[in-house]
Amino acid sequence: MLLGVVNFWRMKQREPFEQEEVSLAEELASHAAVCIDNARRYTREHTMAVTLQHSLLPRALPSQSALDVAFRYLPAESGVGGDWFDVIPLPGARVALVVGDVVGHGLHAAATMGRLRTAVHNFSTLDLPPDEILSHLDDLIARIDQDEGPGGPNGDGSGGGGGSEGITGATCLYAIYDPVTRRCTMARAGHPPPALVRPDGPVEFLDLPAGPPLGLGGLPFETVEAELAEGSHLVLYTDGLIEDRRREIDTGLEMLRGALAHPGRTPSRSAPTCWTRCCPATRAMTSP
């Protein structure tokens, strides 16, 4: 297959190129061909991962009367990750709120995200408390590692994700809100803490035990209960909103706190404000 043609000229000397010069030109052309092929492979995989990711995320929020929900989802340009969220109606007018992040990027992360999202839906039908939901997800991640590792069914050490992804890991926050009691039970597995915006304005990051990331196996999770006053906003997010190579995570949390310090805003207005305040570089990419 022909990827391209490269030509070399010299203006002043008319003598033929020497063999060393020809060898150098061939080496340069060979390296360029590899770079072009890698770029095309990356573009193709990125497109496939974005398509898979979008197909696995909720296209619309389910009908429920427990609370008002708004969301913004913006995949990274550098690589499609395994971030996901969900809103799941439960018996008794309750609702489950889920947000998670699979370690890594590309097809493997997107596919694992899909498996976890499906598992959360299945486990939620059992009406389990948040800590038990996370324990089941932890077991699932361990099984994924076992199946895709060197000793798994593939047998060649390549795993199910294409070869070099290594051990799978993920973070997750699972919350159940009861509109009758206005109480919210939550547990997290290595995920950033939720932010609570009080009706009178103060913003606090709930003191929720971090718990281990999913995939470590055998470590317990802890459920915490909080009362949400009428008009409160509970904000769940992934680390991409607060983490940046150019700033400390505490700085990102304070930027988020400042973006949320407007209790009169509706959720649909608060979501894009968080993007523009915490991730200004993505402002032009954020949907209205």
Q: Label residues 142-162 b or e (16+ Cβ within 10 Å = b).
A: bebbeebbeebeeeeeebbbe
Predicted local confidence at residue 223, as pLDDT = 96
Which candidate, 55, 57, 65, 182, places its Cα nearest to that of 121? 57
Which candidate, 138, 135, 136, 165, places its Cα nearest to that of 149? 165
pTM beyond 0.75, yes or no: no
How many other CB atoms are there within 10 angstroms of residue 10's CB atom? Answer: 9
Q: How far apart are CA 260 and CA 242, in angstroms?
A: 13
Tokens standing for residue 116: 């976890």
Predicted local confidence at residue 240, as pLDDT = 83
Q: List, in order, residues 6 or more apart from 266 with CB less than 8 Å away.
A: 68, 70
Q: Among the ranges 13-22, 105-114, 153-162, 206-215, which has the highest mean pLDDT value?
A: 206-215
Greater confidence (208 vs 83) lies with 208
The amino acid at residue 123 is F
**Which residue ranges form the domains of the chain, and what is each CATH number?**
44-285 (3.60.40.10)
Q: How far apart are CA 91 and CA 66, in angstroms?
A: 11
Poorest-confidence range of 123-132, 219-228, 242-251? 242-251
**231-244 pLDDT tens trace:** 899 999 988 888 87
Contacts made by residues 250-254, CB under 8 angstroms, sequence distance 24+: 252/278, 253/205
